[in-house]
Structures are given as C-alpha cells and as structure tokens.
Amino acid sequence: MLDAGLLEALAEESPDAIVVVDDGGHITFWNRTAEMIFGHPRHAVMGHGLHGLLFGGEHGRALGTDPTEASSEGGRWVDTVARCADGALLYVNMASQALRGGPGRPRGTVVTLADVTHLRTRRDARLLGARYRELFDSMPDAILVVNEIGRVALFNRQAEVMFGYASADVVGAPLEMLMPPRFRAGHGRHREHYMAHPHTRPMGQGLELYGQRQNGEEFPVEISLSPLRTDVGFFGLSAIRDISERRRVERALEEKNMELERASRAKDRFLATMSHELRTPLNAIIGFTGILLMRLPGPLTPDQEKQLGLVQSSGKHLLSLINDLLDLAKIDSGSVDMRLVPVDARLLVEEVGTTLRPAATTRGLALELRLPPEPLWVCADRRALQQILINLTNNAIKFTEQGGVTVSVELAPDDPARVVFGVSDTGVGMTPDEVGQLFHAFTQVGHPSRRPSIEGTGLGLYLCKKLAELHGSRIEVRSVPGQGSRFWMSLERAAGPAEAGGECA
C-alpha cells in the first residue's frame, strides 16, 4: 500500500489539477498544476470552498451546472466551466472520488480537473468550419464565431485580412486578443453578460469599440451580434466592420465645418464692420442730395433735378441693401438683442401704414388697414415687429400691379390669447413650388415673365422668418397664382399698457 507522502508526490506531478476538499467542501490540497491552470497560488486557496473559487458567477449559473454535486459522496464526472484568477473561463472535465475515513463515513473528496479548452474549441472549430466556412468566407464583413467562454471557433477570410492574423493563430484564443489591452477587461464582462442573455444587436448599436491588428495598429470597428444555436452548442456570431475610412471622412467634415464656421464668423464681422463704414457716407450723400432737391442752396435745372433724384434713389436702395446685410450678420451671429415688451399692435400698424402709403399711392394701389376698435397689446420686440410688417407690406406693394394691399390685426379665432398680423395683396401670386422656395437668403421666387422686374436683395423674407422665430412664432403663407397672396403670423397677447414700462412676463 502506498504511503501518504508518495501519493502527495504523485498528485503534485499530475498533468491535471488535483484538489482535495474536506467533508465541509473546503480545500485541503491544491497541486502545482492547479496553480498553473487556474492562477490561484496554493496559500491563497487553502480553506476556501471549491465551488465559490472556480464556479461562482453569472456564467456558471447560466450553464445550469452545480459543481458541488460532483464532489459529493461517490465517484462521478462532469463537463463544466471554471473561472481562473484573471477572470478567463476554461472548459474543464471534472472527476470526483470520495475518500472514506471509516466504515460508511466520508473523510473528503479528491477532485481531478482536466483543462479541455483547447480540445473542445478545436472540435467546435472543425464542426463549424465544415458547416459554415464557405458561407462566411463569401461575406463582405469580418466574421468571428466564439463559444460560450469567449474563445474564437471560426475566423473567416475577411477577418484574416482585417486583423492580419492567420485563422490558425486565432482559433482557440480569447476574443479579447483582437482588441487593444485597455478594452479587454471591460469587454470580458460585457461578453459574458451577452452570452448569459443572448439577443440580436444590429450593426452600429452598443459600445464604441476598437480592434487591434497583429502589428499593433488600432482601428475603430462596428459590430453586430447574433446568437448562433447549433446541435453542438451555443455560440455568439460577430460581424465586424472596419470604419476607419468613415471616421476619417467624419473628422475631415468636422474640420471643414469648423473652417466654415470660422469663415462664417469672419464674414459676419466683415459685414457688420463694412456695413457701419458704408452707412455713414451713404447717409451723408442721401442727406445732402435731399437738401439740393429741396432747392435750399438755389434753383435746379430739370436735368440736375433728374440726376439728383437718381442719386438719391440709388443711395436709398444701396442703404437698404446694407441695412439688410447688417441685420443678416447680426441674426446669423446670434447678436440680436431682443427685448420683449407690451406693444400696441393697432398703433404700430397705423405707423407702418403711414410710412408705406406713399409707395402704394405711387403705384396706384389702395393700402387698407383693418384694425380693432380698441388698442390690442402684444408681447414683442417693437423694432423687430415693425421691420417684419414693413418688409411684408413693402413686398406686397412691389408685387401688386393693380388692386390693393390690406394689413390686418385681429385676435386669433381659435385662441384669444394670441394676436394675428396679416398682410394680403391682389398681386401676381405664387405656385406651391414657389411658396416652398420662400424664406431663403438671397432668393427671389417667380419667373421674370410672371412678375414685374423688382430690384431687391432677396433678404427681406429671410429676415422676417428669423425675426419671427426669435419671437417664438413663424410666418405662414397662402397664395394663388394671378389672385394674390396672404402672409400672417401670430404673437402672444399682452395684458395691456400697465406693463408698458417693463418686459413681458
């Protein structure tokens, strides 16, 4: 009969892990092979329970295996999954045999654990390769199939090209070898959770991941995941796409957008500076031209009066253009100072009518104001609202050959807490396609054959749209070719003149 010392020496030299547990399940012997396979030094495991050390955790429960049964009385064996000290999972073949200390009384259990990960993974690789290799090699994406413990069981041709490894170098290795070291520990936890709760995850969803080629180069990837259930077991299928070129294009677009933003800011600064610089001499030209036309310095000949009138008209047109550009620069740069206060809508529309009635009369048009009998207060920036109404009314006058223009103020029929401003005309009107082109900067709609030759910057409606949005509103349009157009917007009603000294609540 062999003595205890010889048995212990034989156990130490065994190619398999040999563990002895007492009848309470606590480890009393842990050989060198167990240290090598599982990474736990002997002094750290003595007295601990075998089940909690190697077989605890979510993955073990998901497999439905209870290794404690394998170490109960009697001899038995079971294939299961064990966890190493570094978190890696291994397939193990576990056999147990009870040690008896007396008649019918167990003294403990000898547990033999053989690492069969390599054999099991190679078997899976052969079976999956025979069944799916030709199909997966024909796919445009890199395809990896991993088993329950995260070892690669299939690595298609596109994956070889993408990662720079031969299939033989990857099959059987942990999936994490294909990603940068900083992602490996965290990815292991995510992978185990997925294997315990498998579901299809489309490309482009989930974590932002990176791959690592054999030469150490990192690259961004998108991954889709799908469970793959076969008659030889459960696997996870990953389709991997190298998105390096897409990221390069995205970065280039971001840089280009930043350049465009800087250029836009520079343009806004230039427009604002030059507009101010140009307005000063233009105001002087228009002012002195007006004095000459009033004949204050002396009489004018008909030719001089005509020429000075042309200078004044051109100067006013240019000043209008500069003012529009200045407003555009302010709005696009977000530097418009909006002060919302109670404004008497009826009084404001009367002022707009007084300003533009001469222009309507010159064109032989009637300018009608439809106003409420009593003051009607709205919450608005007075200057901005006036600019909106002047632009809309002036446009209506310009594009109307005969008939007239109506500016109205009324309570919204479906909401008495809002006030509707409307500008209607009997002008050329617009088609639905032309209406869809409105409110773009530097754009005038309508073919010249269908509308009069109108000078302008194409900024008026764009500025109206922006100013309306700053009020939290929008400009609506209804138009019929040959019958005219109606533009309208609504603003919040204010309580009344008692609030006139301060801003709206």
Domains and CATH numbers, the chain: 4-115 (3.30.450.20), 119-242 (3.30.450.20), 248-332 (1.10.287.130), 341-499 (3.30.565.10)
The pLDDT of residue 329:
72
* HSE value, Cβ hemisphere, 13 Å, CA-based, for 501: 1
CB atoms within 10 A of CB 54: 29
Distance of alpha carbon 426 from alpha carbon 433, whole angstroms? 19
Instruction: Look at residue 160 in the predicted model and tell me its pLDDT.
Output: 94
Angle between the 460-470 and 302-332 helix axes, to the nearest 10 degrees? 40
pLDDT at 500: 47
**What is the predicted pLDDT for the residue at 2?**
45
Contact 220, 243 (CB under 8 A): yes
Asked whether the beta carbons of 457 and 442 are under 8 A apart, the reply is yes
- Ranges of the chain with pLDDT below 50: 1-2, 59-68, 70-73, 447, 450-453, 499-500
Separation of alpha carbons 123 and 43, rounded Å? 36
C-alpha 313/C-alpha 307 separation (Å) is: 10
- Tell me what pLDDT residue 70 has: 45
The Cα–Cα gap between 127 and 228 comes to 13
pLDDT at 443: 65
Q: How much is the pLDDT for 102?
A: 60
pLDDT at 60: 46
Could you tell me how far CA 169 lies from the centroid of its own chain?
A: 38
